[in-house]
Amino acid sequence: MDDLSANGNNTQEFCNTQYNYFAAPYQELWCNPVWDSLLCWPPTKASTTTKQRCPFVDGFDTTKSVEKKCGYNGRWETQNGTSTNEDSPIGWANYSTCLTPEMLWLHYIVYNNNRDGEMKMEIAEKTRTLEFVGLSISLVALLASLVIFCRFRSLRNTRTRIHKNLFVAMVVQVLIRLTLYIDLAIFRTKPHSPQRGIGNTPVLCEASYALLEYVKTAMFMWMFIEGHFLHNMVTVIFQETSYYRMYRLVGWGCPVLITLAWVIVMAFYYHPKSKYISCLTVKKYY
């Protein structure tokens, strides 16, 4: 039985409604329809295999398919080929066939050994926690600095203005990163399950990482401008002309062109095979 659907209505409610009145043909053994938290598997005749498109899940390639086998006795087969029982009627489907090359590589690197895999995941979680704490402290310090720069009139000069623009770029970058990390913590607690959040929202996901790339570029651009300004202060004794308007144009304008080129390359170089693969490809760089 080949059911390569687009999985557009694959929800538990849809599954229950679609096959609520299913009855196996007379004197034939069929596996009952089941929802395995990823796909709705239709009624399947005994000793046959049903096939569906891979679901829209992070790391899955929806051009691939996944199979599920109905045993000779009308029960879904488990991973070891045995039949299911009343306590566990769902059976097993090998979703590893759905993984993208990037996810297969990551799965091999992390889980090539159970003990090493657990240790790597623990280190990654602790590292992310430290990064979250560090970003939070940085955000508080940056906001305090901006308040000081804006509060005191004696600090209102070109050098301080450059500092303020640099700190604004840093603040926006920190806020985006914290938002993405919180999104990961909330919506990614259950691996290999359909999820929501920024990472699974088309356009919003790509826009978030494009904005992050923009403010990162702007941050380094303002660092360059600050270095250029300090160089002029040291080498030019009498400088009557203020170049702040030009600095502002370069500091916020050039990153737009650089980020636009990056977005175009990412859009044309990575042809998405699944609903979210384009954003997933971007996320692996962060």
Confidence of residue 107 (pLDDT cuts 50, 70, 90): confident
C-alpha separations of 90 from 29, 56, 85, 86, 119 in Å: 16, 20, 9, 9, 31
pTM of the predicted protein model? 0.64
Q: Which residue has the higher pLDDT, 120 or 75?
A: 75
Q: Which ranges constitute the DSSP H helices of 188-243? A: 204-235
pLDDT of residue 4 exceeding 50, the answer is: no
d(Cα 281, Cα 263) in Å, to the nearest integer? 12
- In angstroms, how far apart are the furthest CA atoms of the chain? 100
Q: Is 50 helix (H, G, I), strand (E, B) or coil?
A: strand
Q: Compute the distance between CA of residue 103 and CA of residue 124 in angstroms, rounded to an integer.
A: 16
Length of the chain as a residue count = 286
Residue type, 200: N
Residue-level pLDDT at 281: 52
Q: What angle do CA 213, 218, 223 make, to 5 degrees?
A: 130
- Window from 160-169, 173-182, 254-263, 273-282 with minimum mean pLDDT: 273-282
| Distance in angstroms (rounded) separating the CA atoms of residues 98 and 189 | 20
What the block records as the tokens of 165 is 């623009």
| Cα 85 to Cα 72, 164, 210, distances in angstroms | 14, 66, 49
Average pLDDT over residues 65-70: 91
Compute the mean pLDDT over every residue in the chain, rounded to the nearest whole number.
80
Domains of the chain with CATH codes: 12-107 (4.10.1240.10), 114-284 (1.20.1070.10)
Question: Is the predicted pLDDT of residue 111 greater than 70, yes or no?
Answer: no
